[in-house]
């Protein structure tokens, strides 16, 4: 419990807490009390609207992680090469739940088991641009379904494009990158 | 709008419960409880951050004059607006907890859809903090360099495709 509290109120929380106080004070002094109260009321409504969704989204992420451990994806991504390998990697990246602390260890496992650099780049690009967890947890609640759908469709080719570009690098550079230099 | 949102919450909770039952059936009770506990821990970690992030975003929204936003990254800001959005997005040193409230603020202040997609894509692929904290230590600087260079055109490609999609559906 003590560790949890320490992780919660860490440095980055403190920085943003200070930012909130600074911008709040500026808002109060520049725009007056009415605007300040309106801002707080708007924020409270947004938090109240987010919390129920976030609770469900966190449960979904935790359950999906329990059902599909990282090794599940590794099995399907390691063997395929070329565009097909990148497409599989992109699909894997899209459905991988969790933050960088779960996806990066998976990428190192994939690299060490011989997955090509194109597929690794495709996986990471898909995980960040079309990752479903982020879309359902943040984008749909905050920006609306239409915005999320348009951005998702526009982002679908990105993972493959980045993977193809990554393979254009000379083999010597790629070999050293593979060794983690 | 409110009606639609309520449906979203219901769908998410139904999904969560269905997956919970599936985990319980496939992996047993201990694993299910463990997953549930992990979700609660994450929630405890995330909630205070959301509160301060949303507060900051709300105040900033009122402090930034919206004509500044419209002028620089509004729907009619063209290629320069897209490039500005790409630059801003690439340098947001934070995860989704901070970035999405910021995007909401910019959206309310009059930023264009194409520009917001560009900003989100740039933030997603370049994310400075993630490169420094996770990618370079785990994958090496060379891998990061190859990935970042390969990702350079992505925000502009997403911008072009978004403009195309909007032209078709609107």
pLDDT > 70 fraction of chain B, expressed in percent and rounded: 95
Would you call A44 exposed, middle or buried from its count of C-beta atoms within 10 A (0-12, 13-18, 19+)? Answer: middle
As a whole number, mean pLDDT of residues B9-26 equals 89
Whether the per-residue pLDDT at B2 is higher than 50: the answer is: no
As a whole number, mean pLDDT of residues B75-81 equals 91
As a whole number, mean pLDDT of residues B139-158 equals 95
- Structure token pair of residue A177: 């990158």
Mutation pick from B90, B146, B169 vs chain A, by most beta carbons of A within 10 Å, is B146
Whether the per-residue pLDDT at B22 is higher than 90: the answer is: yes
A140 chain-B contacts, CB cut-off 8 A: 8
Lowest mean pLDDT among A19-23, A75-79, B89-93: A75-79
Q: What pLDDT band is residue A147 in, cutting at 50, 70 and 90? A: very high
- Structure token pair of residue B102: 């910021």
A163 chain-B contacts, CB cut-off 8 A: 150
A1 chain-B contacts, CB cut-off 8 A: none
For residues A121 and A127, give the distance between their C-alpha atoms in angstroms, rounded to a whole number. Answer: 10
Pair A152, A139: CB distance under 8 Å: no
Indicate the residue of A17, A169, A180 with minimum beta-carbon distance to B140. Answer: A180
Query: Cα distance from B28 to chain A (closest Cα, Å)?
Result: 11
Q: What pLDDT band is residue B1 in, cutting at 50, 70 and 90? A: very low
More confident of the two residues A121 and A47: A121
Pair B86, B122: CB distance under 8 Å: yes
DSSP state, B132?
I
- Structure token pair of residue B137: 């230590």
SS3 A115: coil
As a whole number, mean pLDDT of residues A52-69 equals 82
What per-residue confidence (pLDDT) applies to A7? 67
Each residue's pLDDT tens digit, A155-175: 999 999 999 999 998 877 777
Tokens 């009122």 sit at which residue? B62
Q: What pLDDT band is residue B113 in, cutting at 50, 70 and 90? A: very high
pTM for this model (two decimals): 0.80
For residues B159 and A7, give the distance between their C-alpha atoms in angstroms, rounded to a whole number. Answer: 37
What per-residue confidence (pLDDT) applies to B68? 86
Highest mean pLDDT among A127-131, B45-49, B67-71: A127-131
Size of interface A-B (CB pairs under 8 A): 250
Count other Cβ atoms within 10 Å, centred on residue A101: 9
B166 chain-A contacts, CB cut-off 8 A: 150
Each residue's pLDDT tens digit, A112-142: 877 888 999 999 999 999 998 888 888 888 8
What per-residue confidence (pLDDT) applies to B6? 62
More confident of the two residues A172 and B86: B86
Each residue's pLDDT tens digit, A15-46: 778 988 999 999 999 889 998 998 888 888 88
Q: What pLDDT band is residue B58 in, cutting at 50, 70 and 90? A: confident
Query: Cα distance from B55 to chain A (closest Cα, Å)?
Result: 6
As a whole number, mean pLDDT of residues A86-101 equals 85
A29 chain-B contacts, CB cut-off 8 A: none
Mutation pick from A59, A60, A163 vs chain B, by most beta carbons of B within 10 Å, is A59
As a whole number, mean pLDDT of residues B165-170 equals 92
Query: Cα distance from B103 to chain A (closest Cα, Å)?
Result: 8
């Amino acid at each position: 419990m003590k560790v949890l509290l320490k992780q919660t109120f860490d440095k980055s929380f403190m920085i943003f807490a200070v930012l909130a106080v600074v911008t709040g004070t500026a808002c109060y002094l520049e725009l007056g009390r009415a605007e300040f109260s309106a801002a707080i009321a708007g924020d409270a409504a947004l938090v109240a609207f987010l919390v129920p969704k976030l609770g469900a989204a966190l449960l979904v992420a935790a359950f999906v992680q329990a059902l599909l451990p990282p090794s599940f994806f590794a099995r399907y991504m390691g063997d395929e090469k070329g565009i097909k390998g990148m497409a599989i990697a992109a699909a894997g990246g899209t459905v991988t739940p969790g933050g960088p602390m779960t996806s990066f260890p998976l990428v190192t496992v994939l690299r060490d088991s011989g997955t090509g650099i194109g597929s690794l780049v495709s996986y990471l690009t898909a995980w960040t641009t079309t990752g479903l967890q982020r879309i359902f947890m943040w984008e749909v609640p905050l920006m609306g379904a239409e915005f999320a759908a348009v951005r998702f469709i526009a982002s679908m080719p990105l993972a493959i494009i980045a993977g193809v570009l990554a393979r254009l690098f000379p083999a010597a550079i790629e070999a050293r990158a593979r060794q983690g230099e | 709008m409110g009606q639609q949102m309520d449906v979203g919450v219901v769908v998410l909770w139904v999904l969560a419960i269905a997956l919970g039952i599936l985990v319980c059936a496939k992996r047993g009770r201990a694993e299910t409880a463990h997953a549930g506990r992990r979700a609660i821990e994450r929630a405890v970690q995330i909630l205070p951050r959301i509160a301060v992030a949303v507060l900051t975003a709300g105040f900033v929204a009122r402090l930034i004059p919206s004509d500044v936003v419209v002028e620089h990254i509004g729907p009619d800001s063209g290629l320069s607006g897209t490039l500005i959005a790409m630059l801003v997005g690439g340098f947001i040193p934070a995860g989704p907890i901070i970035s999405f409230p910021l995007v909401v603020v910019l959206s309310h202040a009059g930023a264009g859809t194409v520009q917001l997609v560009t900003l989100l894509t740039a933030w997603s692929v370049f994310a400075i903090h993630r490169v420094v904290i996770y990618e370079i230590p785990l994958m090496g600087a060379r891998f990061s360099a190859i990935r970042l260079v390969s990702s350079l055109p992505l925000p502009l490609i997403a911008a072009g495709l978004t403009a195309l999609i909007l032209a078709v559906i609107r």
